[in-house]
Amino acid sequence: MARQHSSKDTRERVISAAVEKFMEKGYSKTTLEDIVQHVGLTRGAFYWNFESKKDILDEIVARYQQFYRNIYSSYRHFDSARDTLRDFLLVNLRSKNTMNPYVMIIRYKVEASQEVSNLIERQTEMDKTFLETIRKEVARGQQQQEFRTDKPAEMLALVLYTYLLGFESYNTAHHINAQGKFMPDEKIVEYVDFLMEMLQS
């Protein structure tokens, strides 16, 4: 019985149920009873897998972080910084062009409280890491005379990064019930080309 309760399948069922309830009611208003009833398990089965509701949220945050790490490690690298950055932007926006429940929960369904106080710190660390990835590529493009040099790489990278955050936040908030892609791929390409134009001299 213990093996069954602690199986990977059971953990996934609990996480999926929690995601649905967090999306529906928000994190703070979702009770442990909501989750176990939704998944059809006993409290005992729950505690074989998680210590608390916060433990599930930690798993969701880990998946949220992994989603972004995948984006920032899957684009192609070229000799040209311009081609590299353009591919990065395309991968980034295409990855964010559908509803991601982990993003929705972290951005809009977790209310501020002492229990989740480390979320801001974790987000800040991610921002620093990802912003530096963009800054390095912008700086390389400036050295190769592919990008404008009248603004520092830090500023241009910050503009790009906040555009990426805005794209995701806007779509997540405005297409909460959307099925499939938020916009056609040709619009993604148009969006990326507009961002690249801002980097030109």
User: What is the per-residue pLDDT across 147-188, written as a single tens digit (0 to 9) for each?
Assistant: 999 999 999 999 999 999 999 888 877 776 667 888 899 999
Give yes or no for residue 2 having a pLDDT over 50: no
What pLDDT shows up at residue 135? 98
Tell me what the mean pLDDT of segment 96-121 comes to.
Answer: 81
Return the SS3 of 189: helix
Burial 75-98 (b: 16+ CB within 10 A, else e): beeeeebbebbbbbbbbbbebbbe
> Quick one: average pLDDT of 124-143?
95
Q: Which of 3-7, 47-51, 106-110 has the lowest mean pLDDT?
A: 3-7
What is the pLDDT at residue 139? 98
pLDDT attached to residue 108:
82
User: Per-residue DSSP letters for 10-51?
Assistant: HHHHHHHHHHHHHHHH-TTT--HHHHHHHHT--HHHHHHH-S
pLDDT, position 141: 97
**Who wins on pLDDT, 165 or 7?**
165
Check: CB of residue 64 under 8 Å from CB of residue 102.
yes
- Of the pLDDT bands very low, low, confident and very high (cuts 50, 70, 90), residue 143 is very high
Neighbours of 130 (CB within 10 A): 19
Q: Is the pLDDT assigned to residue 4 strictly greater than 60?
A: no
Question: How many C-alpha atoms does 48 have within 13 Å on its Cβ side?
Answer: 19
Q: What is the mean pLDDT of the chain?
A: 89
For residues 119-131, average pLDDT: 89
Task: Count other C-beta atoms under 10 Å from residue 35's C-beta.
Answer: 24
Confidence of residue 121 (pLDDT cuts 50, 70, 90): confident
Between these two residues, 43 and 134, which has the higher pLDDT value?
134
Q: Is 137 exposed, middle or buried (0-12, 13-18, 19+ CB in 10 A)?
A: buried
